[in-house]
Amino acid sequence: MRRGRRLGVDVGDARIGVASSDPDGLLATPVETVPGRDVPAARRRLVALVAEYEPLEVVVGLPRSLSGGEGPAAAKVRGFAEELAKAVAPVAVRLVDERMTTVSAAQSMRASGVSTKKGRSRIDQAAAVVILQTALETERTSGGAPGECVEVVV
């Protein structure tokens, strides 16, 4: 397991959930929810978070269908991740499968007594936690970095 903090990002149309890991890569915790409708402003905030947290890498959830295919949402996230990778280089940006993370996060929030309506912004953070925690566990068990690295094309 590589040592270093990571940031996890759940990109949505309305909001972007952000989570962070400890430097040992053991536990992911929520950081904040960034408004996502103004994409340039959202990207600027994420760049500021990268500067603040100084992560080894940023892990972005890639929405896939249950069959594993990619649709318009995945294409949008890929584009967002490519722009983010350019903005935060040399920090690596990785795409990891995020199937069912928002559903899992919403179920966990409901189970802990948080209503869906009141907890929308926290659900995005919780989804980022699930994405990041899954990536950390994948790296711990496989010994390799999770997902696919976003190549920075200048």
What does DSSP say about strands 6-11 and 57-62: parallel, antiparallel, or unpaired?
parallel
Q: What's the chain's average pLDDT? A: 89
b/e per residue, 90-120, with b = 16+ CB within 10 A? ebbbbbbbbeebbebbbeebeeeebeeeebb
Q: Which helix (H) or strand (E) holds 11?
A: strand 6-11
What does DSSP say about strands 148-149 and 92-97: parallel, antiparallel, or unpaired?
antiparallel
- Per-residue pLDDT, averaged over 82-111, amounts to 81
Higher pLDDT, 64 or 6: 6
CATH number of this structure's domain 6-149:
3.30.420.140
Render pLDDT for 9-48 as a digit per residue (tens, 0 to 9).
999 989 999 999 999 999 999 999 999 999 999 999 999 9
Q: State the pLDDT at residue 153.
A: 77
Q: State the pLDDT at residue 122.
A: 82
